[in-house]
Amino acid sequence: MVVKEEYAEFGVEGFSLLEVLIALAVLGIVLTGVVKMFTTTGRFHTSQERTVETMDNVRAVKQLMVDEIRSAGCNPKGKQTIGFVNDAGGDERFDTDANSIHFTRDIDDDEIDQVYKPDGDADDPNENIAYYRGTSPALSDILAPTDHTPGTLYRTSFGAAGFNSQPVADNITGLQFLYFDSSGFPITDPGTTDLAKIKLVEVTVIGQVTNTTQVSTANQTWTQRFRVRVRNL
């Protein structure tokens, strides 16, 4: 007797070429979306990092300048004229005008210790200070407030041995100083007689991200505008 075996054929034919192509096309669409999502997320994260970095730099500049400008003219001993300064040699970096600020204060002596002891002069470290913006520390490279070329904010400290200019922040595209008297009226171009009238300083600092191609146009710069009341003049 011959036994006939019967087999149920389920899916033995496999997938057709069309089905495979359709599956690959759907998979490609899904993977493209996933890649785009990760790319967009990465760009957003990078953009946020650049923006936060710029904001932190400008905030640090603000804190430093507020602390120092506020104490301009500190003169507890009263032995000499201390306050805002225009450079006697005509060096624009060290004037008190729209693109730079220069002031003196008596806050310490020349002893290396942790005690602040005013000594009646302004030639000790951090007592004679100027701020300006330029593409280099040189006089020829100082930048006007209307020039938004990225530059460096420099802080110059004067002493018995001369002066030393150190960078405070890079990628600064704007720096402007405005001056006001005790009544709130602006002092447009402080001359020798007007320097003693300065009671309030308005500072505008504009910082720019290090790589503008990674950030949208609206987030490429960040501006801090603040006013400092001079307590000692």
Buried residues in 165-195 as b, exposed as e (16+ CB within 10 A): beebbebbbbbbbbbbeeeeeebeebeeebb
The whole-number average pLDDT for the span 121-148 is 94
Is 231's pLDDT higher than 60? yes
Q: How confident is the model at residue 61 (pLDDT cuts 50, 70, 90)?
A: very high
**pLDDT tens sequence across 80-125:** 889 999 998 889 999 999 999 999 999 988 777 777 788 888 888 8
More confident residue, 210 or 15: 210
Q: 1 is written with which tokens?
A: 């007797």
Q: Any residues with CB less than 8 A from the CB of 182 and at least 6 apart, and which?
A: 197, 199
Q: Is residue 98 part of a domain?
A: yes
Please give the residue that has the higher pLDDT: either 149 or 159: 149
Report if residue 114 sits inside a domain.
yes
137 located within any domain: yes
Say if residue 215 is exposed, middle or buried (CB neighbours under 10 Å; 0-12, 13-18, 19+): buried
Neighbour tally for 148: CB within 10 Å? 14
How high is the pLDDT of residue 218? 75
What pLDDT is recorded for position 5? 56
Residue 4 reports pLDDT greater than 90: no
* Domain coverage including residue 80: 50-229
57 touches 169 (CB < 8 A): yes
pLDDT at 44 over 70: no
DSSP states of 149-208: --EEEEEEEEETTEEEEEEEEEEEEEEEEEEE-TTS-B-SS--TTTGGG--EEEEEEEEE
pLDDT of residue 207: 95
| pLDDT score for 42 | 63
pLDDT at res. 74: 93
State how far the Cα of 116 lies from the Cα of 111, in Å rounded to an integer: 9
Count other Cβ atoms within 10 Å, centred on residue 39.
10
Q: Judge whether residue 45 has pLDDT over 70.
A: no
Residue 15's pLDDT is what?
76
pLDDT the model gives residue 40: 65
What is the number of structural domains in the chain? 1
User: Is 136 inside any structural domain?
Assistant: yes
pLDDT above 90: percentage of residues in the chain: 53
User: For 175-207, how does the pLDDT look when each residue is reduced to its tens digit (9 = 90+)?
Assistant: 999 999 999 999 987 877 789 899 999 999 999
Residue 16 in domain: no
Task: Name the β-bridge partners of 165.
Answer: 156
Strand partners, 222: 207
Q: Do the domain assignments include residue 82?
A: yes
pLDDT digits (tens, 9 = 90+) for 150-178: 999 999 999 877 899 999 999 999 999 99
Instruction: Name the pLDDT band for 216 (thresholds 50, 70, 90).
Output: confident
Q: What is the mean pLDDT of the chain?
A: 87
The band of 41, judged by pLDDT with boundaries at 50, 70 and 90, is low
- The radius of gyration of the chain from alpha carbons, rounded to an integer in Å, stands at 32
Indicate whether 35 belongs to any domain: no
* 170 within 8 A of 133, measured Cβ to Cβ: no
